[in-house]
A and B are shown apart, each in its own frame.
Chain A
Amino acid sequence: MKDLVACPTLVFPTVDDTNTAYRGVIALLIINKAGGLIYNRTFGEGLNQLNSNDYLVLAGTFHGVHAITARLNPLREHQAAHYHAQQQHQHQASGSLGGGGSSGGGGQGGPLPSRPEPPSGLEVMETENFRLQCFNTQTGTKFLLFTDTMQANVDVAMRKVYDLYADYVMKNPFYQLEMPVRCDMFDRKLNSYIREINNSR
């Protein structure tokens, strides 16, 4: 292993330009639960600007890829088997107690069977030029935050963006669910927040 790593032919292009190194948060996309792009804002340089149709295609593609990445979990068989064993165990336990363990019930006497958490899809993607963090809400809305590769605390930023969305989009009486987000207040608060974190570095 050691000698392999020390191999002299190992040369990778590195992110060298000073202007590409610190770009902070570059862009935000919000994708609704059907895969439609409902928000798209760029905060800084660093990514190619696409036309609006390409952004829609990109959102749809990402939506599909995200679903596939959730299915690709290499340990799913093991976890399924484990879950099965657990279920059977519970089933037997409830059977011995005399409670009718019907197919839907799942052990009404004992503790509820621990339901496995749903598989998460793609959460972070890294490339040479940028980093993409994806946050999938409980309701299936996806927040895509594009940052430079060095950006720290993206989780915090993502949380704040979600906060702002919950406040200034979901509490806005004129916003229709699943439709494109056109809320001045959201834009304004988001801009000032992103500017703040981009300037603080």
Chain B
Amino acid sequence: MSNLTPAKGKEQPGLRYPSNGKTIYHRPLNRAKTSELSQASFAYLFSEMVGYASKRIESIQDLEKRLNTQGHPIGLKLLDLLLHREPARTQTRPLTIITLLHLIKQQLWTHLFGRAADGLEKSSDPSRPDEYMIIDNEPLVNRYISVPRDMSQLNCAAFVAGIIEGVCDGSAFPARVTAHSVGKQQATPAADGGGEDGGEGKEMWPGRTVFLVKFAPEVLERESFLGKG
């Protein structure tokens, strides 16, 4: 920031340029790869984003849709950056569902949250071969969020789902991505004494979130052709 001095001689109203002519856009793209942001400032920003999105909504789905829409362009744009940062050999667009999902689980997650996602699963239901699940035990965007009782289906990680959707769309794998809370231990305090059926994940990770990726039929169709070839 120290080199942000106005250009000599001519007064420039508005934008200021560094004296050496180098802006943030002149920096090599890999330079900021490991830089970090304040989580508090992100939390406040995200809080305002959620507040903005919840104005005049008809339903919870509405709100999630809006958050999704906010995330979508980020995913589209991030895809280019992520591929650019890959080593030259692997700098190709993912061609199969599995490589795409791996890109999301590893590169995208590391870029956004500083760690890989906690799980990647294919739907066990044979009638839904188009559904995949990316699991995050503690989504960073939800770190400080307590969802009110009357909005219990809401998961603000819909924003992250939007980013994933953007990445999928950008790689020509059109998909619908939604975020679902599965660690519902806190929402039903009455049942938490008897209901031990939930498995170990619920107790440990109250904020556990599943991102359900549902690919469009043409993606599956193409995938099956590729598999044969």
Contact across chains for B146 and A184 when beta carbons are under 8 A apart: yes
Q: Judge whether B145 is part of the interface by a CB distance below 8 angstroms.
A: yes
Q: Tell me the complex Cα distance, A174–B46, Å.
A: 12
We find that the number of chain B residues with CB closer than 8 angstroms to chain A is 21
Interface residues of A in 182-198 (CB under 8 A from B): 182-186, 188
Q: Judge whether B40 is part of the interface by a CB distance below 8 angstroms.
A: yes
Chain B, residue nearest A167 (CB): B144
Q: A184-B186, A188-B186, A188-B206 are in contact. Are A174 and B144 (CB under 8 A)?
A: no
Q: A172-B47, A188-B186, A188-B206 are in contact. Are A182 and B148 (CB under 8 A)?
A: yes
Q: Tell me the complex Cα distance, A188–B206, Å.
A: 10
We find that the number of chain A residues with CB closer than 8 angstroms to chain B is 13
Interface residues of B in 73-111 (CB under 8 A from A): none
Q: Tell me the complex Cα distance, A182–B148, Å.
A: 7
Q: Tell me the complex Cα distance, A168–B147, Å.
A: 11
Interfacial chain A residues near B46, Cβ < 8 Å = 173
Interfacial chain A residues near B144, Cβ < 8 Å = 167-168, 171-172, 185
Q: Judge whether B48 is part of the interface by a CB distance below 8 angstroms.
A: yes
Q: Tell me the complex Cα distance, A184–B146, Å.
A: 5
Contact across chains for B148 and A173 when beta carbons are under 8 A apart: no
Chain B, residue nearest A186 (CB): B146
Interfacial chain B residues near A184, Cβ < 8 Å = 146-147, 186-187
Q: Tell me the complex Cα distance, A60–B46, Å.
A: 34
Interfacial chain B residues near A185, Cβ < 8 Å = 144-146
Query: Interface centre among A168, A171, A172, A173, by most B CB within 10 Å?
Result: A173
Chain B, residue nearest A168 (CB): B144
Shortest 7 CB-CB distances between A and B: which pairs?
A: A173-B50, A183-B146, A171-B144, A173-B47, A171-B43, A185-B146, A184-B146
- Which B residues form the contact surface with A (CB < 8 A)? 40, 43-44, 46-51, 54, 144-149, 151, 156, 186-187, 206
- Which A residues form the contact surface with B (CB < 8 A)? 167-168, 171-175, 182-186, 188
Ordered by A's residue number, 10 sampled pairs between the chains whose C-beta atoms are within 8 Å are A167-B144, A171-B43, A171-B44, A171-B144, A173-B48, A173-B51, A174-B148, A182-B148, A183-B146, A185-B144
